Structure 1
Amino acid sequence: MLDVVRAISNYQFGLDVGEKLFPDGTTVEVSKRTGKPKRVYLDGKLLATVRSNDGLIALTFEGAMRLRALLPSGRFRVIVSDDAARFIIEGKSLFSKHVLEADPRILPGDEVLIENNKGELLAVGKAVLSGCEMGKFRRGLAVKVRKVGGETLRES
């Protein structure tokens, strides 16, 4: 089942990401009812879930940190203003007017990594708009935030 999760990762995030994101020793929890992959763990930490509606991967914050280290700079990234960063780490959704920069290859529905302008990972979420639209629109929802960073980010 690990091969299936790796194949999904390669499709979703780019070739050769799967084996690095989910190395040997990764555990895949399988649904008893459907027989499909459900949750992905490494060293007891939940990295991702496989969404039942579309079969794609939804990352946890831990999984997002691993993915960030594997991707080229800027890929699947959305950079936000300092004003918005405070709200993002509280789990609030990201609105277009607070986007400073976004990967133009982002498509609606993509998993995205939300960073502040210092390059610190704040959260992971699901894009509502394309990367090009995020930078141009001044109104509307850009990203539905799903998982936010640890306590250290909240204290700063």
Structure 2
Amino acid sequence: MIIRRARPEEVVRLRAIADYQFGFPAGDLLIPDNVVVGVSPATRRIREIYGEEGLLAVLRAHDYLYSLSLLGAKRLLALPEPRLRARLRVETPPSKSINCRIIETIDHDLRPGDEVIVLNSSGELVGVGRLRLSPTEILENECWGEAIRLRKTVKGDNS
């Protein structure tokens, strides 16, 4: 991976992708002006987005949309609720597979396959993952299967 500072036209394109995927003004929240990118040496395409804190997101090769990291999810929490969010009825999810019964609220504009930011019952970030069912199916409580597959989770303090 080649790490370099993004050119101004690349910053505009990266923000446009975020606005398309997450809605305006997600591009300005997710992509800072001084963004650093990881470029694939084979294809010369941008694959990783870094801010001052670390990895913000990864651009997926098959559709060129973002897979969020926890830092990227924290930046997008500035969007008004319930945008991009699912709130759980519990403090800690039992596993990386979240079923319908423990989801309290969810953004109705999400679709299966979308990135979703998962919050606990206190409103704190638990993790980020991919939605597997539509919000309508989840909230009807008629489903028993996996609703969200968590990809990254916040490490708990075991002290």
- What interval of TM-score do these two structures reach, taking the shorter chain for normalisation? 0.7 to 0.9
Look up the match of 2:56.
Answer: 47
- CA displacement 1:76-108 (0-9 Å, x = unmatched): 11111217x2425xxx21111211111111101
Contact residue 121 and residue 149 of structure 1 kept, 8 A: yes
Contact residue 53 and residue 71 of structure 2 kept, 8 A: no
For residue 87 of structure 2, the aligned residue among 69, 79, 84 is 79
Larger Rg, first or second structure (1 or 2): 2
Identity in percent = 36
Residue 19 (structure 1) aligned with residue 28 (structure 2): yes
Contact residue 2 and residue 27 of structure 1 kept, 8 A: no
SS in 1 for 2:57: strand
RMSD: 1.7
Runs of 4+ in structure 1 off by over 4 angstroms are: none
Contact residue 137 and residue 143 of structure 2 kept, 8 A: no
Uncovered stretches (5+) of structure 1, i.e. residues with no partner: none
More helix by share: 1
Distance in structure 1 (CA, Å) of the matches to 2:143 and 2:25: 36
What's the TM-score, normalizing by structure 1? 0.88
What's the TM-score, normalizing by structure 2? 0.86
Look up the match of 2:105.
Answer: 101
Uncovered stretches (5+) of structure 2, i.e. residues with no partner: 1-9
Contact residue 61 and residue 124 of structure 1 kept, 8 A: yes
SS in 2 for 1:82: coil
